[in-house]
Structure 1
């Protein structure tokens, strides 16, 4: 069966649905989908911008103080902290 045969054999209900979808109802559905897509894109852009801002400010965060009681000196303590959380110290 070809595509044309399917269209010719449509029932009356199918033809009514086609008219609705092509008409005002179809236009409303398309507008709603566009609004939802725009909202989704806007929200995604906001979340990405937050990630970028967090990454930009990560190196500006205050460093933790190195205590005097570090087992092998302050340098060892600072290096071990840097290994645990790279990029934040």
Structure 2
């Protein structure tokens, strides 16, 4: 799929993401098809608008919790089992 755009303004006005996604889906080629065709730029449909990303980051930032697991002593059998259990619990939650 080749696009020729004269200006950023035209790009913003003429862009129809849903139409582009439908055309992409209709090819049934998927991302591998893009790579096989020698794509050199990421298609716009895969690029999220900055304002949308910023809003999501604000929402995620306030609710994101990352578990901290101390892996020192991994070579000790009792500590190893405890660390594995903590990793298992963290990956489930």
Name which one, 1 or 2, has greater alpha-carbon Rg: 1
User: Fold-level match, TM-score > 0.5?
Assistant: no
Which has the larger helix fraction?
1
TM-score (normalised: structure 2): 0.23
